[in-house]
Amino acid sequence: MKQNKIYALVGTHSSGKSTLINALKNEKYIQENYFLSESSTRSAGTRINKEAEDIDQLTILAKIKQYEIDNDLYSKNCILDRSFIDFYAYSVYLYYNNKISEETLNIIRCEFEKRVDLYTKVFVLVPQFDIDDDGVRSLDVQFQQDIQNIIFSILDSFGVPYMLVVGKIKTRVRCVINNILVFKKQSRNRILKNFSNETLDEQYICKDNIVLIEDRIMKGFISFEKKDNGIIKIGYIFTKPEYRKDGVGRELVLRLIDTYIDHNFYIYITETALVFYSKIGISKFILSESKYSTESYKNYLARFSGRDLRREIDTV
């Protein structure tokens, strides 16, 4: 019996799930082969995010189950813009903040466990933008980060294969489609070994991300873009809060440099970037070399060679 492919876009509020699902609608391959789910907790008419209580979560649960029935969701190839993973993550947060009861959490967890093995792969959208103030979603950045950490904890705990999706919308669309096509060509066991959080290697490179995984736990990632001229543009660096004093960010930068040691690099010159890079010993170097910034990048980027950068870090 042919197994249907169920992909889920997972992330906190304002992580870009709706934007990505709408962009995927315009892709011919997706149109011809996948049903795109667009369910939303806001349509349930309940309190959401930090304000939800037992009755709200149970109402949302009923709405989700009805949506699955109405669309015969798991009998076809589909991409979900909201999955039980998100819902369960928010429920865990509510339980530990005394907003819902253990009984309610157990009901939701039971439904989650029925579905967790159905996901072929999960695409995790990490928040990169300001929270959109739509009058409904919480604007609390710490709350958003807490949910993101819970999501990673759930994925790690249940061994759900996932891929981090970052960057501009075109990059995100390309990442999703490329990974779906990869799944068409490889067996599930091969993919779990090579591309998921269950890999035995400590690092994997997929398109424009390097992810640090130790003891099967995702500790952080660094995004980058390889330009047509071969220059590597360093992008977003994310470290789980509990590992931010363990040198994960520095290790990610070193792995990226070592992977492309003979290339030139661009780095954004921002206040936040300088604070981070000063901790690993290269902020003065970036400032002194900022004259290499090109007009096309409007002086927001500094350019330097991988070997020079590696040498600078090694002196710290």
Per the model's pLDDT, the better-predicted residue between 157 and 85 turns out to be 85
In the chain, where are the structural domains located?
6-195, 204-314
Q: How far apart are CA 133 and CA 267, in angstroms?
A: 30
pLDDT grade for 297, boundaries at 50, 70 and 90: very low
Whether pLDDT at 124 is above 70: yes
Sequence-ordered list of residues with C-beta below 8 angstroms from that of 157, at least 6 positions apart, any chain: none
Q: Which residues of 151-184 are buried (b: 16+ CB within 10 A; e: fewer)?
A: bbebbbeeebbbbbbbbeeebbbbbbeebbebbe
Task: Tell me whether residue 117 is exposed, middle or buried, using C-beta atoms within 10 angstroms of its C-beta: 0 to 12, 13 to 18, 19 or more.
Answer: exposed
Quote the CATH superfamily of domain 6-195: P-loop containing nucleotide triphosphate hydrolases (3.40.50.300)
pLDDT grade for 283, boundaries at 50, 70 and 90: low
Q: How far apart are CA 66 and CA 200, in angstroms?
A: 39
CB 258 within 8 A of CB 310: yes
What pLDDT is attached to residue 79? 93
What pLDDT is attached to residue 107? 94
* Mean pLDDT of all residues in 37-45: 64
Question: Residue 49: which region, alpha, beta or left (left: phi > 0; alpha: psi -120 to 50)?
Answer: left
* Mean pLDDT of all residues in 212-217: 62
Q: How many beta carbons lie within 10 A of that of residue 217, not counting itself? A: 15
Of 9, 10, 252, nearest to 148 (Cα)? 10
Give the model confidence (pLDDT) of 53-87 as tens digits. Answer: 999 999 999 988 888 888 888 888 999 988 899 99
Going across the sheet that includes 217-226, the strands are: 203-206, 209-214, 217-226, 232-239, 264-268, 301-305
Per CATH, is 204-314 categorized as 3.40.630.30? yes
Q: How far is CA 234 from CA 13, 189, 210, 301, in A?
A: 25, 32, 11, 10
pLDDT grade for 266, boundaries at 50, 70 and 90: confident
Work out whether the CA dihedral 144, 149, 153, 156 comes out positive or negative. Answer: positive
Per the model's pLDDT, the better-predicted residue between 154 and 268 turns out to be 154
Per the model's pLDDT, the better-predicted residue between 104 and 258 turns out to be 104
CA 43 to chain centre: 24
What pLDDT is attached to residue 198? 36
Give the model confidence (pLDDT) of 172-204 as tens digits. Answer: 888 888 878 765 544 334 433 333 333 323 333
pLDDT grade for 101, boundaries at 50, 70 and 90: very high
